[in-house]
Structure 1
Amino acid sequence: MFEWSREHFHDWCSNIVTRYPEYTVTCRGIGPGPPDTMHLGCCSQLALFTAKNYIKQPDLDLNSLALVA
C-alpha cells in the first residue's frame, strides 16, 4: 500500500516545483469521507502541475457546438 500524509505529499510537490521552476503546483483533496469524518480531510489527494508558460484558452461555449452526423 502506498500512502503519504498530507504534509509529506505537499513537501514532495514543493520539491518538484523547486527542481522544475517552470511549473506551479496546486494540491487538492479528492472525495469527502464518510459522515462525521470531515475533520480527517478528503479520502485522497491530487497535485496539478501546470507549466508557467501555459496559455489559457477561452472556455468552450457548449451552445456554439453543432451535432454532426
Structure 2
Amino acid sequence: MIDSRDRVDVVLDVYVEEDAYRVRMVGVFQPGQPVPPVPAGATRNTVQTFLDVKIDVRAFALGRTVGNGDR
C-alpha cells in the first residue's frame, strides 16, 4: 500500500510522432514493484517523487539524446 509521503515511481510511456511526443501515464508504483512491459514503439521514462509532497518541477526532457546531447 502506498501512503502519503512515500517515495513512488511515476511510469510514463513516450511515443515519438512526426511532430510531437505522445506521453501515456502507465501508473504510480512503489519502487521495485513490477511494472507492465514497454509497448512496441515506446520508450519508458520513470520519474521518482514523493506522494503528496509538493515539488517545484517546471519541466523535464522527453525523448532521446542524439549526438553531442542535442535533442
Q: TM-score band, normalised by the shorter chain?
A: under 0.3
Q: Which has the larger radius of gyration?
A: 1
TM-score where L is the length of structure 1? 0.28
Q: Which has the higher strand share?
A: 2
Q: Which has the higher helix share?
A: 1
The higher-RCO structure (CA 8 Å, 6+ apart) is 2
TM-score where L is the length of structure 2? 0.27
